[in-house]
Structure 1
Amino acid sequence: MQHFLLSAAARTLSLKQVFRMSDAEAYETFCQLRWPETDGEAVCPRCGCAETYNITSRRRFKCVACHHQFSVTSGTIFASRKLTFVDLLAAIVIFVNGAKGVSALQVSRDLDVQYKTAFVLSHKLREAMALEQQNRRLDGVVEIDGAYFGGYVKPENEKADRKDRRLAMNRTGKRQCVVVMRERGGKSLSFVVRNEGDAVPMVRDHVGTLATIHADEGTGWDALHAGWNVHRVNHSVQFMDEGACTNQAESYFSRLRRMEIGTHHHIAGPYLYAYAQEASWREDNRRVSNGSQAMLVAESAMASPVSRKWAAYWQRKAG
């Protein structure tokens, strides 16, 4: 049977189609995404009035009630954008087309923009992706697992000088644990913590009490038995034990590892959570066509407020 990603159903939008669009057509697309309830007609973000003047020469709107002037990207994650609407739409398509992520360097080359522009834009899209995961609740059968990222210690040249990197004293202290909670046949959630056991409070907040949890024999998950029906599997012996397994959680980590090793090569500690949430979104939407994926990301971006972390990011670094 043909894999979904190899089928025609997975390809519903191409860069060729995007770059054939005029900027006016791309602009109308963003209007439809921003105001789907009014079929693309502007609604004042300040007072909610649906009656506005259209300042066509500047692609801005003026509210009849409060006289506030705004654009289609005002108050969104794309506020103060300088890229054309065609380039913005193309950036989203390039971003979702990477099954294991896309590096900022590749985005900068494809769009002919500075690396700084591509870096911030990519992180803004990751922030929009994470919007879908807010206040998510998991039920049914939920697989939970953790994996460690970062804190790599390069081995010494001489074998006699090499140290056991499994020991805490020989680590850099930068290693972090990504914990994923994945509902079978449903959605997933990921968090970055210091150790696996630190994620137990997140499990209490996001997993229903009637859910059945599958986890490995890590001692950090022992506390889960107090609140849920928990099935454990000893991975040093077998991958599945009488139906108990964490294979879908391992599938998530496989994607995240390939993103780190094959695409980004290095993920800095403060940004690990963003890449973890991106991998979660890609796993959840792996059987969705690329055109639908692009629209999902664009809709989330237009619904996201101005990013407190990424707005004027490089200006803050320069200051």
Structure 2
Amino acid sequence: MGPPNKSPFSVKIPLDGDSVNGHIQITKNGDYEMAQHFLLSPAAKTLSLAKILRMSDQDAEKAFRMIRWADTDGEPVCPECGCLEHYNLKSRPVWKCKGCSKQFSRTSGTIFHSRKLSIRDILGAIAIFTNGAKGYSALQLSRDLDIDYKTAFVLLHKCREAIGLARDAGALSGDVEVDGAYFGGYVKPANKREDRKDRRKKIHQSGKRQVVVVMRERGGRTLTHVGVSEAEGVAAAKANVATGATVHADEASHWDKLAAHFPIKRINHQKAYSLDGACTNQAESFFSRVRRAEIGTHHHIAGKYLAAYAGEMAWREDARRVANGSQFAMIVSAAAIAPKSDVWCGYWQRQQA
């Protein structure tokens, strides 16, 4: 993950009292400047969707080969035995390994194994997915690329799986904020007032409600865990937070158990959002992004897909100060090294909905 941009573009602020939104800074020569948000600066926009979609099939395939087989300058390597010796088949656009006699293509052995879309359309889909700050829906992608909804749905989930496999592992350190938020399990109220039930009671709930527990390292990585109750976050924190790290949590009683394992700071949100260095504001920032994705983009992120969406949003939050061109390269590289997906390869043929 690249570091934040340290030299954002700036614009002068007039000194006649006019109000301008932004952060005012004073330069060495005494001038007043407003620091421009990174996402609004030219440095954040290094990806051109138009250039990708204008690529020929040959150019797109060459670009993918250069990413997948970077160590051999794009020369194919057999995914079965690692042999460099091969020859082209005239009947189909694949290679045949001279070592093990296996046939393989540009995407064989990757998460896009057995793909039917052209490489250019796959790269275009990844570019579109990258630019969705709050995620991107399969329905809209199917319209943008004129492909079937099922194709778009699986392609985007393959991207999410590749991102999850490529993300940094290891324990979080320093100051780590933990919190949980519930998603899914909505129960529609009855039409007549006298027929309505108290949906806060377990007996009147659907049983499909799940919690996303986030563990966020200040200035570092974000990890997520999906469970039935927020109390499961205690075990998740023990497994993913390094010894000696300071944990920040709210006043929920289940977080009391973390005091035996970590230095812990608590914040009572009924009194303040931040007090004496204790806060969970960055965890709340993550949940804000997930809620925006749920309400404005996907409308429904729950069930067995919730962990995939939470992982995607954690990556987006961590890479929010990385140029979109670099984000695109991250996803393509992750997809090129990710193995064939056991979950998503042949997903619809198994009639999973």
Q: TM-score, normalised by structure 2?
A: 0.86
Partner of residue 294, structure 2: 260
**Residues 12-21 or 196-205, more deviating:** 196-205
Deviation at 1:185, TM superposition (A): 0.5
Count of matched residue pairs: 319
Identity percentage over the alignment?
Answer: 59
Partner of residue 307, structure 2: 273
Write the deviation string for residues 12-70 of structure 1: whole angstroms up to 9, x where unpaired: 11221111211111101111111111121111211122333344773322223222221
Whether contact under 8 Å (1:180, 1:189) holds in the other structure is yes
Partner of residue 153, structure 2: 119
Q: Which letter does structure 1 place at the counterpart of 2:77?
A: V
Whether contact under 8 Å (1:146, 1:196) holds in the other structure is yes
Partner of residue 215, structure 2: 181
Paired with 2:200 and 2:67, the residues of 1 have a C-alpha distance of 49
Gaps of 5+ in 2: 1-34
Of residues 262, 277, 284, the one that matches 1:243 is: 277
Partner of residue 43, structure 2: 9
**Superposition map of 1:124-203 within 5 A:** 124-133=158-167, 135-203=169-237
**Superposition map of 1:1-319 within 5 A:** 1-55=35-89, 58-133=92-167, 135-317=169-351
Whether contact under 8 Å (2:183, 2:302) holds in the other structure is no
Deviation at 1:133, TM superposition (A): 3.2
Which is greater in Rg? 2
Paired with 2:276 and 2:352, the residues of 1 have a C-alpha distance of 57
Find the residue that maps to 1:181 and give its secondary structure.
strand
Deviation at 1:3, TM superposition (A): 1.8
Find the residue that maps to 1:177 and give its secondary structure.
strand
**Residues 35-44 or 279-288, more deviating:** 35-44
Paired with 1:243 and 1:318, the residues of 2 have a C-alpha distance of 47
Find the residue that maps to 1:178 and give its secondary structure.
strand
Gaps of 5+ in 1: none
Find the residue that maps to 1:143 and give its secondary structure.
strand
Find the residue that maps to 2:179 and give its secondary structure.
strand
Find the residue that maps to 2:82 and give its secondary structure.
coil
Write the deviation string for residues 170-200 of structure 1: whole angstroms up to 9, x where unpaired: 2211110000111100111111011111122
Paired with 1:86 and 1:57, the residues of 2 have a C-alpha distance of 22
Find the residue that maps to 1:44 and give its secondary structure.
coil
Paired with 2:191 and 2:94, the residues of 1 have a C-alpha distance of 62
Write the deviation string for residues 139-159 of structure 1: whole angstroms up to 9, x where unpaired: 111111100001112223344
Deviation at 1:207, TM superposition (A): 1.1
Higher helix share: 1
Whether contact under 8 Å (2:174, 2:246) holds in the other structure is yes
Whether contact under 8 Å (1:176, 1:192) holds in the other structure is yes
Paired with 1:204 and 1:260, the residues of 2 have a C-alpha distance of 29
Whether contact under 8 Å (1:128, 1:297) holds in the other structure is yes
Write the deviation string for residues 268-301 of structure 1: whole angstroms up to 9, x where unpaired: 4111111111111110111111111111111111
Whether contact under 8 Å (1:133, 1:189) holds in the other structure is no
Find the residue that maps to 1:94 and give its secondary structure.
helix
Find the residue that maps to 1:286 and give its secondary structure.
coil
Whether contact under 8 Å (1:153, 1:171) holds in the other structure is yes
**Residues 167-176 or 273-282, more deviating:** 167-176
Q: TM-score, normalised by structure 1?
A: 0.95
Whether contact under 8 Å (1:54, 1:60) holds in the other structure is yes
Paired with 1:135 and 1:287, the residues of 2 have a C-alpha distance of 20
Whether contact under 8 Å (2:85, 2:98) holds in the other structure is yes
Paired with 2:89 and 2:192, the residues of 1 have a C-alpha distance of 70
Whether contact under 8 Å (2:212, 2:310) holds in the other structure is yes
Paired with 1:91 and 1:228, the residues of 2 have a C-alpha distance of 43
Find the residue that maps to 2:328 and give its secondary structure.
helix
Whether contact under 8 Å (1:13, 1:290) holds in the other structure is yes
C-alpha change, 1:318 and 1:132, in structure 2 (3 Å) is: closer
